[in-house]
């Protein structure tokens, strides 16, 4: 199966290529396409002639999006709709990645796919609008919401914490935001399986996919640091003590029961996947 992945250098796109197995993964991004001005996408899809398309590209700079609204909207709403329409016109299964930040974090329990969205920031709003835009032009599309994605490469929370821990005596990390940390390669495995389901005639719609278990940012920082063999202490602080340009939701745990019940997909516990990530970084159990 030939899978066209939109977003050539992102951590999920690279994980998809690494986990592809017998599948052929074709990744495209700049300079082949400019998602801020997504003209010619239909022609590119026609040239590649994929069996399925995964859109792993997005504007993910949460704080910068507050002042860069048009760019965030172009990548998170306009471009996904163009891709979804082009895929639908050719009868190509289309999977689009979204985020837990479409929720406000005030529900007090894991969010099911049927829960109403209520984003707190521009990033979340443009992703929520992107979901609606995709479904509006391609009802057969599958939208996969995930959360707190990190990988052994690229820029992400885990790598940032390890870099800071190596150079500081102590860290302060927010402990009142809760979610499901998700390792990119574990997510990629699930996405590849879902594409096969779509190819087999599975229905589209919304689906939540993330690593099992839950954690605060402090929990993830501590586990990353200790797992890498570092001993830098981490102190938990409230969100109010770490103001950011964009508001963050407090509890965006996703309800994962539909993925298991409908597709038989259950990702490992987040701590297990974190250990795998640290091993890929060559830092598992390292002592300094």
Write out pLDDT tens, residues 39-68: 788 889 999 999 999 999 999 999 999 999
Strand partners, 143: 96, 206
Instruction: Report how far residue 107's alpha carbon sits from residue 118's, in angstroms, rounded to the nearest whole number.
Output: 10
Catalytic annotation, pick one of 123, 150, 242, 263: 123
pLDDT at residue 285 in the model: 62
Instruction: Report how far residue 264's alpha carbon sits from residue 190's, in angstroms, rounded to the nearest whole number.
Output: 10
32-41, 167-176, 218-227: least confidently modelled range: 32-41
Whether pLDDT at 283 is above 90: no
pLDDT at residue 30 in the model: 79
Kindly report, residue by residue over 176-228, the tens digit of the pLDDT: 999 999 999 999 999 999 999 999 999 999 999 999 999 999 999 999 999 99
Strand partners, 234: 171
CA 165 to chain CA centroid, nearest Å: 25
Residues 140-153, mean pLDDT to the nearest whole number: 97
pLDDT at residue 42 in the model: 85
Name which CATH class applies to 2-155+181-212+252-268.
alpha beta
Q: pTM for the complete prediction?
A: 0.95
Query: What three-state secondary structure class fits 24?
Result: strand
Name the band, by pLDDT with cuts 50, 70 and 90, for residue 288.
very low
Name the band, by pLDDT with cuts 50, 70 and 90, for residue 286.
low
Instruction: Report how far residue 275's alpha carbon sits from residue 266's, in angstroms, rounded to the nearest whole number.
Output: 17
Which positions ≥6 away from 90 have C-beta within 8 Å? 45, 46
Kindly report, residue by residue over 268-280, the tens digit of the pLDDT: 999 999 999 999 9
Closest CA to 187 of 149, 130, 142: 149
Are β-strands 171-174 and 52-55 bridged in parallel, bridged antiparallel, or unpaired?
Answer: unpaired
29-33, 111-115, 202-206, 262-266: least confidently modelled range: 29-33
Instruction: Report how far residue 151's alpha carbon sits from residue 274's, in angstroms, rounded to the nearest whole number.
Output: 9
Which ranges of 141-256 would DSSP assign to H, the alpha helix? Answer: 157-167, 184-199, 217-227
Query: Is 150 one of the catalytic residues?
Result: no
pLDDT at residue 34 in the model: 78
21-25, 26-30, 204-208, 243-247: least confidently modelled range: 26-30
Closest CA to 147 of 256, 226, 242: 256
DSSP string computed for 225-272:
HHHTT----EEEE-GGGS--SS---SB-PBP-HHHHHHH---PPBHHH
Contact between 142 and 95 (Cβ < 8 Å): yes
Contact between 278 and 224 (Cβ < 8 Å): yes
Kindly report, residue by residue over 83-131, the tens digit of the pLDDT: 999 999 999 999 999 999 999 999 999 999 999 999 999 999 999 999 9
Give residue limits of the domains in the chain: 2-155+181-212+252-268
Tokens read off for 93: 């299964």
Whether pLDDT at 78 is above 60: yes
């Amino acid at each position: 199966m030939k899978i066209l992945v939109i977003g050539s250098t992102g951590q999920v796109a690279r994980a998809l290529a690494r986990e592809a197995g017998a599948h052929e993964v074709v990744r495209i991004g700049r300079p082949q396409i400019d998602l801020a001005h997504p003209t010619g996408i239909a022609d590119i899809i026609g040239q590649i002639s994929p069996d399925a398309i995964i859109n792993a590209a997005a504007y993910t700079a949460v704080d910068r999006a507050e002042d860069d609204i048009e760019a965030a909207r172009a990548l998170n709403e306009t471009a996904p709709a163009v891709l979804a329409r082009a895929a639908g016109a050719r009868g190509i299964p289309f999977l689009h990645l979204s985020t837990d930040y479409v929720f406000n974090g005030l529900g007090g329990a894991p969010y099911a796919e049927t829960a109403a969205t209520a984003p707190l920031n521009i990033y979340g709003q443009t992703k929520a609008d992107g979901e609606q835009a995709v479904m509006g032009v391609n009802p057969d599309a599958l939208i996969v919401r995930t959360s707190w994605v990190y990988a052994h490469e690229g820029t992400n929370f885990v790598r940032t914490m390890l870099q800071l821990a190596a150079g500081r005596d102590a860290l302060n990390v927010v402990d009142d935001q809760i979610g499901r940390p998700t390792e990119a390669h574990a997510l990629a495995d699930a996405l590849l399986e879902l594409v096969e389901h779509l190819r087999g005639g599975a229905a589209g719609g919304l689906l939540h996919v993330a690593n099992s278990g839950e954690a605060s940012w402090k929990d993830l920082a501590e586990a990353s640091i200790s797992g890498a063999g570092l001993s830098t202490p981490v102190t938990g602080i409230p969100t109010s003590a770490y103001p950011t340009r964009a508001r963050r939701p407090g509890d965006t745990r996703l309800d994962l029961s539909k993925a298991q019940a409908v597709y038989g997909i259950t990702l490992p516990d987040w701590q297990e996947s974190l250990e795998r990530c640290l091993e890929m970084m060559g830092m598992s159990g390292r002592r300094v």
